[in-house]
Structure 1
């Protein structure tokens, strides 16, 4: 596939398709949102503050990390560094789908990124790899995730109790399983194992020897470099 996707467009049908496809996973997001609402109240945030954080930040891992640093005196610099380290992957995620969005008007191009998260990005990246041109699925998937995240937070705020440790029920692996499913459903090429292996090994090394959360960006960079140095078979044959 070429680096760009000519004819890429966004319409209501694509948005509705994205909402429908992301709906099953969004049900689990409600549980995470509920847990965040409960945890936020326990850390001293008001119900309105918890809801505003979920609605405006829309980054579950970063929000939970921020709660760990929350208190009477908030360490601003560590808070900024932690949230940046967790969300730095979005720099690479945005760059990966930039060729797909390049043909859209600026308002659609940049507006669609506001709702980008791991799950709808993975769905969009897999769709682009399969030749899909309707970018509305990225937006629709993001809308579904955002609505259920805010709804879950609201439920946690209202009831004041819930699942505070979702990992006890295996719910913390739902996102990872979804991303793995997107990978398995993508291009079947053994050469893809090299960048993924490089990313995994680099991430494991970073988890062992580098500061917390740095493994996300280290693994992504390692995989990207490996992909650049050893392109997929189709690309090698095209340049031969």
Structure 2
């Protein structure tokens, strides 16, 4: 087969994988859209312009820390507090990136870093699930760059557009939480967890993490529930694996 023919087939395969990732993300986008509108509406109440919020959501791309930053925003803003809370809330990305890194080992550093830059909870969960499916099917490499591009790009564009639109329509709609928009994100996470479910035993660390994070959130202010939930889940995994070995 000629090199030009091989390159054409490779390009077609890559575009097909992008399309597969985009289609797979559609149900998630339905949940992200109202949540983005909610963030935009809250940002508008704090005086954010479309440009300001687009810059924040496009460069940070982490909804949890952005909601925390908007909630803490004041005039003048306490930047150090916002920075520390953002780092705390986004600390889960350290674990997510470490878990994802082996799947990216075959990529050049610049591509791997770009993949990690656009990594969020949804793209990570969908990427990990797709890697597992491709491994089970004997496909190599198990990480599909095209699929991940389709997923991450769809999530990024939808999030940036939805949050920016929320700044515009938020003042007109008023308190949009009365329509239940704030339940969109938990619903999205339940869908992602369902897709990663591997049985009761593997779900025990999730339960431990949920209980510890929920208890911390109820009794302690701030975002301490994030590292507590992550640490308790890791400890539960280590204890379960130790018991098996």
SS in 2 for 1:203: helix
C-alpha distance in 2 between matches for 1:188 and 1:47: 42
- Residue 118 (structure 1) aligned with residue 121 (structure 2): yes
TM-score, scaled relative to structure 2: 0.79
* Aligned twin of 1:91: 94
- Residue 206 (structure 1) aligned with residue 209 (structure 2): no
* Aligned twin of 1:3: none
Q: Does structure 2 conserve the Cα–Cα contact (< 8 Å) formed by 1:31 and 1:163?
A: no
CA drift of 1:196 comes to 1.9
* Aligned twin of 1:62: 65
Q: Quick one: structure 1 residues 94 and 165, their matched pair in 2 at CA, closer, same or farther if it must change by over 3 Å?
A: farther
- RMSD of aligned residue pairs (Cα, Å): 2.6
Q: Quick one: structure 1 residues 44 and 229, their matched pair in 2 at CA, closer, same or farther if it must change by over 3 Å?
A: same
Q: Does structure 2 conserve the Cα–Cα contact (< 8 Å) formed by 1:62 and 1:87?
A: yes
TM-score, scaled relative to structure 1: 0.81
Q: Which residue of 234, 238, 241 corresponds with 1:228? A: 238
Q: Quick one: structure 1 residues 97 and 20, their matched pair in 2 at CA, closer, same or farther if it must change by over 3 Å?
A: same
C-alpha distance in 2 between matches for 1:170 and 1:158: 19
Deviations 1:150-176 (A, max 9, x none): 212332344453555554333333333
Deviations 1:146-202 (A, max 9, x none): 111221233234445355555433333333333323333335333213322221222
Worse-matched range after superposition: 70-79 or 24-33: 24-33
C-alpha distance in 2 between matches for 1:29 and 1:182: 13
Runs of 5+ in structure 2 lacking a partner?
Answer: 1-12, 136-141
C-alpha distance in 2 between matches for 1:177 and 1:192: 21
Runs of 5+ in structure 1 lacking a partner?
Answer: 1-9
* Aligned twin of 2:154: 144
* Aligned twin of 1:172: 182
* Aligned twin of 1:28: 31
